[in-house]
Structure 1
Amino acid sequence: MITDDEKLREARLGGEPVFEGRLLHVFRDRVRLPDGRESTREYIRHPGASAVVLLRGGEVLLERQWRYPLGRAFWEVPAGKLEPGEEPLSCARRELAEETGYEAEGWASLGSMCPGIGYSNEVIHLFLARAASGGERHLDAGEFLDLFWVPFEEAVARAASGDIDDSKTIAALFRAEKYLERNPREGR
């Protein structure tokens, strides 16, 4: 499909930081709109992240973690932010080991997703892997989460029903399901 996205482009005219946090950096930019008028765009700069669908014998490893902004615990695949200069696969391996203690083999890219396109430049890279060995977790200070092995089909059904409602987890599970349909020899 050929598109003419240039007619939609907004040109940055200038901007300023509004807030510089440990994780998030909020900016306010002035832009020229396609019709020539000026407007303001406020957005969050994020370093990006990686997320992992880890499979073992027909099950997927899910985490249960409290998320303060929404005031409740969520079902999630293991994930974490990229360090400066870190490649997405390296981040996926590191975060998986830190949060779960697992090392994996047979890594496959499931593409990426952009969870907040209206207010953030965050890109989450999605991966599928097989559990190879478990070890000791190395959680960050202040990080608390529980681990659960859930039948893969159940996890996909829970994402489809809305019981799992974390966007990266939904995308990762659905992409993993399609990947496995196209590559049945890799099994579940």
Structure 2
Amino acid sequence: MSEKPPWLKAHGTPWGVTRETVVYDNPWITLTEYDAVAPTGRPALYGKVTFKNRAIGVVPLHADGTVTLVGQNRFPHANYSWEIPEGGAPLDEDPLDGAKRELAEEVGLQAADWRLILTMELSNSITDEICHGYLALDLTPTATAPDDTEDLAIARVPFAEVLDAAVSGHMPDSLTVALLLRVHHMAVKGELPADLARLVLADARS
């Protein structure tokens, strides 16, 4: 991880709050409404979604350069989504433990080599959701245990083909796009084993 450059510094006045009211709460999220004071000093009405889990994403990268993906119907956009294995980890749980659980439950894999490769704020204008993204290497099979609301399909696809699909807009899930690009970046920067990096950087058309 490179050092934080000096230009990445805060400017101005932080947001202020004069009133907050919880308007909705369930086991996964809380929606709070605020009378706020903007950094410009102007009053503002603000809503924030607070998440009770951290988002977890895992790129299961096999030694042959393929990636195991999950397909499922998603509720919010009423669409079918191909993604990397994903899920949530309670705030009091080690995110790595959550990543290990999701990888096993969704695609029946376990990994001997785990690397935290990216931490993201997923929609920082209206939510406080944080995502921890992992690269999982040295993979072996284990038992699956999907949630009772999940009807999952599984595919194992060459990395270059998956990345092309993601950046072409066929896999719009944000965790998938960001973490695939991060793995490609790692290959370019020499942060992966040489044989694996060559497979990651292979041309999907070859």
TM over 0.5: yes
Mapped contact 2:89–2:98 kept (Cα < 8 A): yes
Q: How does 1:74-113 map to 2 (within 5 A)?
A: 74-113=81-120
Aligned to 1:34: 39
In structure 1, the partner of 2:193 is 185
Determine the C-alpha separation between the residues in 2 that align with 1:99 and 1:81. 12
Counterpart of 2:48 (choices 40, 43, 49) is 43
CA distance in 1, matches of 2:19, 2:174: 32
Question: Residue 5 of structure 1: SS of its match in structure 2?
Answer: coil
In the alignment, structure 1 residue 55 sits paired with structure 2 residue 61: yes
Paired amino acid for 2:179: A
Query: Do the aligned partners of residues 131 and 66 (structure 1) sit closer, same or farther apart at CA in structure 2, a change above 3 Å counting?
Result: farther
- 1-side partners of 2:49 and 2:9: how far apart? 27
SS at match of 2:17: strand
**Residue of structure 2 in register with 1:135 after alignment:** 142
Deviations 1:73-96 (A, max 9, x none): 101110111124112111111111
Mapped to 2, the partners of 1:37 and 1:184 lie a distance apart of 49
The 2-side partners of 1:94 and 1:180 are apart by: 26
8 Å contact 2:54–2:91 — kept in the other structure? Answer: no
TM-score normalised to structure 1 length: 0.93
Question: Aligned pair 1:18/2:41, yes or no?
Answer: no
Deviation per CA, 1:96-121, whole angstroms, max 9, x where unpaired? 11111110121111111222122211
- 3-state DSSP of counterpart to 2:176: helix
Return the offset for 1:11.
1.4
Task: Determine if contact 2:58/2:86 at 8 Å carries over to the other structure.
Answer: yes
Alpha carbons of structure 1 residues 17 and 133: separation in structure 2 relative to 1, 3 Å: same
Greater share of helix? 1
Q: With a CA cutoff of 8 Å and minimum separation of 6, indicate the structure with the bigger relative contact order.
A: 1
Identity of aligned residues (%): 28
State the alpha-carbon separation in 1 of the partners of residues 148 and 138 from structure 2: 25
CA distance in 2, matches of 1:170, 1:140: 24
RMSD: 1.6
Question: What's the counterpart of residue 73 of structure 1?
Answer: 80
Aligned partners of 1:63, 1:102: CA distance in 2, in Å? 12
* 1:22 Cα deviation from its structure 2 partner: 2.5
Could you tell me the TM-score, scaled by structure 2's length?
0.85
Q: Distance in 2 between matches of 1:107 and 1:4?
A: 31
Deviation at 1:123, TM superposition (A): 0.9
